[in-house]
Structure 1
Amino acid sequence: MHPKKLPMNEVCQYPKGDLRRMLSVLAAIGSLQDATLVKIVAKTKVDKKTVTNLIEQAREQAGVRIVKTGPVYVIEDWGPVIKKAGAKMCLADALNAPAK
């Protein structure tokens, strides 16, 4: 299944279970000033419960160190598996670009 294409000013929405959903959430945390749950949801168009679950999944399965201070999430370490640049590509839908 291909992700849902949106207008250029919005992000791509990936289907449930797609790894790129988690990567988009991580990219949003990494790119937002004061990355609160509300801001992450607005940036990714992923619901609050799913965002929370994906953050926990990133911690447990990919070793991403995410700290929450008050309402703000910060990625302290991307871990051994995920590259920040690759996550940013998911948020921008660049991983769906045709090969040149």
Structure 2
Amino acid sequence: EVLISTGVSSSQGTPARVSCDAAVRMMLDSGAHAAKFFPMGGEKSLPELYALATTAARNGMTLIEPTGGIDLDNFGIILQSCLEAGVPRVMPHVYSSIIDS
């Protein structure tokens, strides 16, 4: 199940939850070509990311964008999870977490 009432207005009303399949199809209907998964929390949300990636691949979505808490230690497992789910393209948002300081 996915909470889809996360916008400025929709989050003020009754929470709207739909199946992951329905959420991906709604995104595709709206012209989206990718699903952004936030917040990852590093590896904490791997099962949920895998479920979304599997659903995205099954419905023809070609790109998934995991973001939040991704660093050099967990980058590989996050990328591997998405690719094993069947998504052909993955764009992890690593931001400044991989910069040596």
Same fold (TM over 0.5): no
- Is the helix fraction higher in 1 or 2? 1
Structure 2-normalised TM-score?
A: 0.31
Structure number, greater radius of gyration: 2
